[in-house]
Amino acid sequence: MRVLGIETTCDETGVAVVEDGYRILVNRVLSQVPLHEKFGGVVPEIASRAHVETITRMVETALADLSIPLPPAGRVDAIAVAYRPGLVGSLLVGVTAAKCLSWAWGLPLVGVDHLHAHIYAGAMADRGPGSSPPIEEDFFPAIAMVVSGGHSALYLSDGWTRHERIGSTTDDAVGEAFDKAAAVLGLGYPGGPQISRAAVAGNPCAFEFPRTLLDSDSLDFSFSGIKTAVLYASRGQNAGRGAPLRPDVNIADLAASFQEAVVDMLVAKLRRALRRQGLRKAIVGGGVASNLRLRERLDRLAVEDDCEIHYPDFRLCTDNGAMIAGLGCRLLEEGRRHDLSLDADPVAAR
């Protein structure tokens, strides 16, 4: 089955065609970073307008890459779209485009949960970029951890389409914490790649940043404390974001210490979830899953706790249409589909 996947949950316009849920035929991602970077974060109105301006061309280009005509005349079997969670204006553009194409081309439509798709990305490229079948259903049960710009979440997963959330974001999401810390350090947007680049030359023990683990049994995440700690360490105690950087501040040390503290928290939460559920398998997805230090530490966790941890291929960590098409295919195989009443839903499912 060939599925066209559409992703517009935040600031990337993604369009992909995926065959049988894992073979990526085309995966086009248009980043809006140049539009948002001067604001230090995503501006929702700008994001949705940019999706409106580009979505039709992105679909046309992706299909043209495969020499598929318009309408696709039997060469695309269904349309999948990320319909939750995300910025509502951005989501609406993708959902509306998908519904229009489904109606105009007479193809089935399925709405995909964007966070579940980040988990599915771990399956798609796990055994080589798009060339071989994904992790099989018998891999489950497993713990899934999504670490993205808008969410930090832990799931007890019973299959690619069955996820029960057991931990979530209480304040800033982890990617958001990277973005805000980078802004405080004057490193630019998006912050994750900038922080990890700056951290290479820094000492991760230079600053003792707080590791907020909440209650001893909590699987929820909190990153607002460390964000404020970076602000005070770089600009002075109780300083506001407008205060100047301290002249003696070592940005590389701050970046490395911040990254280490965040990674410590993520590793601790994943370990806690695995132990609590008595499981030895995990999948990690979302933009922050491209962080090399996080992968190093998770690899160590896998050895220490004798467990198996999978991540997506780097190009599938951040938002993309391929993971939407891939999971969409699995949902369609289970007989799930939506009609034209499908609506954008900004809120994460429980």
Tell me which residues touch Zn ion (CB under 5 A): 148, 319
> Per the structure block, which two tokens stand in for 57?
């061309």
Q: Establish if 178 lies at the interface with ligand KG4 (CB under 6 A).
A: yes
> Per the structure block, which two tokens stand in for 145?
């951890």
Q: Establish if 120 lies at the interface with ligand KG4 (CB under 6 A).
A: no
Between 179 and 319, name the residue whose CB sits nearer to Zn ion. Answer: 319
Cα distance between residue 148 and residue 167, in whole Å: 14
35 Cβ contact list (under 8 Å, min separation 6): 11, 43, 46, 47, 50
Minimal distance, residue 194 CB to ligand KG4, in Å: 8
Minimal distance, residue 287 CB to ligand KG4, in Å: 2
Of these, 193, 225, 236, 346, which contacts ligand KG4 (CB under 6 A)?
193
Between 26 and 284, name the residue whose CB sits nearer to ligand KG4. Answer: 284
> Per the structure block, which two tokens stand in for 172?
């800033």
Between 40 and 130, name the residue whose CB sits nearer to ligand KG4. Answer: 40
Minimal distance, residue 187 CB to ligand KG4, in Å: 11
3-state helix, strand, coil in the chain (%, to 5): 45, 20, 35
Residue 138 half-sphere exposure, CB side, CA atoms within 13 Å?
Answer: 0
Q: Establish if 89 lies at the interface with ligand KG4 (CB under 6 A).
A: no
Q: Establish if 130 lies at the interface with ligand KG4 (CB under 6 A).
A: no
Of these, 291, 327, 329, 348, which contacts ligand KG4 (CB under 6 A)?
291
Of these, 94, 122, 175, 328, which contacts ligand KG4 (CB under 6 A)?
175
CB atoms within 10 A of CB 83: 28
Q: Establish if 111 lies at the interface with ligand KG4 (CB under 6 A).
A: no
Cα distance between residue 225 and residue 6, in whole Å: 35
Of these, 94, 167, 192, 328, which contacts ligand KG4 (CB under 6 A)?
192
CA distances (Å), 24 to each of 2, 18, 49, 225, 256, in order? 10, 5, 28, 40, 35
Of these, 32, 90, 96, 148, which contacts ligand KG4 (CB under 6 A)?
148
Cα distance between residue 19 and residue 211, in whole Å: 42
CA 160-163-168 angle, 5° bins: 135
Between 197 and 300, name the residue whose CB sits nearer to ligand KG4. Answer: 197
Q: Establish if 318 lies at the interface with ligand KG4 (CB under 6 A).
A: yes
Q: Rounded to the nearest 5°, which phi and psi values hold at 120?
A: -60, -30
Q: Would the CA dihedral through 91, 92, 94, 98 be positive or negative?
A: positive
Binding site for ligand KG4 (CB under 6 A): 10, 148-150, 175-176, 178-179, 190-193, 196, 286-288, 290-291, 318-319
